[in-house]
Structure 1
Amino acid sequence: MRLALFQPDIPQNLGAALRLSACLGVPVEVIEPCGFPLSDAGVRRAAMDYGALAEMVRRPSWSDFLSAPERKAGRLLLFTTKGAVPFHDFEFRPGDTLLFGRESAGVPDEAHAAADARLFIPLKPGARSLNLTVSAAIALSEALRQTKGFPTAAPTG
């Protein structure tokens, strides 16, 4: 299971996604260019003390992302407000990559065309959207639940 962020606009969302990655043991692929400078120092600052635990892979472009070996390991699942299937009615598999679009603009048509499935998170009528990382956490939780992919560590505290 992997998360992929298409050209994220907000560094704090990338930081939260890296924290999610670190805590759940799921790699994050960042498809560039980002809407902010993506430097090592910036990533460390955004991820705070979770950066060393997170696995982040930078993809310089959409074509580099598509040609990565990880695409052969599973399906590409696009989460979109234009999705066709509610995510909780979808059957996830361990090799899936969950793709989330840019906060300001989503993803281009070519990403919709490349997706093996387009999914959405149902919202209450009148609600427009969720925060990017909140959406990723909701989707990833269901995917990990279905595939029994949650970490096996004991609870803390």
Structure 2
Amino acid sequence: MMINIVLYRPQIPQNTGSISRTCAVSGSKLHLIRDFSFSISDKEVKRSGLDYWNLLDLEVHDDLDAFLNKYGDKKIYLCSKFGNKLYSNVKYDDDAFIIFGRETSGLPDDLCKKYKDSIIRVPMKEVEGARSLNLSNTVSLVLYEALRQNNFFDLI
């Protein structure tokens, strides 16, 4: 039993590194969907993840179709600022998959249509020029809510 964090075509290596560290210490699996704008071996990614990479349960998918072919039958949530449900008002299964979009462009429209009833959001104040929260911060908020709902599994 574990929560699965899925990053759709991440762009900023420091975010991915930070998220990898969060997943490693929370016992969560990280899924990365290609294409990324960096290499997992880039120093920015490695530095952000510190020496936690060997502790990380990581799966890389060639594209969104490959991911959905393998896990499309699981309970999937999408996280978007356009979500119709607050992230804290849904019940996360103990093996939930939570997909986060690209830092600049979010999630593809066809994916949002397919999972329209499972789109969650983190509330934020509407501020001109502010698109969204930082991806790494958003992942942490949502992940720890899912863990809380599952009594944090075996975390100390």
Taking structure 2 as the reference length, the TM-score comes to 0.87
Alignment check: 8 A CA contact 2:17 2:44 kept: no
Letter in 2 for 1:131: N
Find the aligned partners of 1:2 and 1:123 in 2 and give their Cα distance: 24
Which residue pairs with 1:104 in the alignment?
A: 104
Return the match for 2:149 from 142, 146, 150.
146
Find the aligned partners of 1:71 and 1:148 in 2 and give their Cα distance: 25
- Give the % identical residues: 30
Give the SS at the match of 1:49: coil
Q: CA deviation at 1:40?
A: 7.7
Give the SS at the match of 1:64: helix
CA offset digits 1:56-86 (Å, max 9, x no partner): 1100101111011x443x3110000111111
1:152 to 1:63, Cα distance in 2 relative to 1, 3 A: same
Find the aligned partners of 1:71 and 1:124 in 2 and give their Cα distance: 33
Extract unaligned runs of 5+ from structure 1.
none
RMSD: 1.9
1:125 to 1:42, Cα distance in 2 relative to 1, 3 A: closer
1:132 is aligned to 2:146? no
Q: CA deviation at 1:125?
A: 3.4
CA offset digits 1:78-135 (Å, max 9, x no partner): 0001111111111111121011000011011122123250000011232541110100
Alignment check: 8 A CA contact 2:79 2:120 kept: yes
Q: What is the total number of aligned residue pairs between the two structures?
A: 151
Which residue pairs with 1:58 in the alignment?
A: 60
Which residue pairs with 1:93 in the alignment?
A: 93
Find the aligned partners of 2:110 and 2:21 in 1 and give their Cα distance: 29
Letter in 2 for 1:123: M
Find the aligned partners of 1:39 and 1:50 in 2 and give their Cα distance: 13
Alignment check: 8 A CA contact 2:14 2:45 kept: no
Alignment check: 8 A CA contact 1:5 1:102 kept: yes
Taking structure 1 as the reference length, the TM-score comes to 0.87
CA offset digits 1:7-60 (Å, max 9, x no partner): 000011110011001110000000000022334877544422010111111001
Find the aligned partners of 1:83 and 1:3 in 2 and give their Cα distance: 17
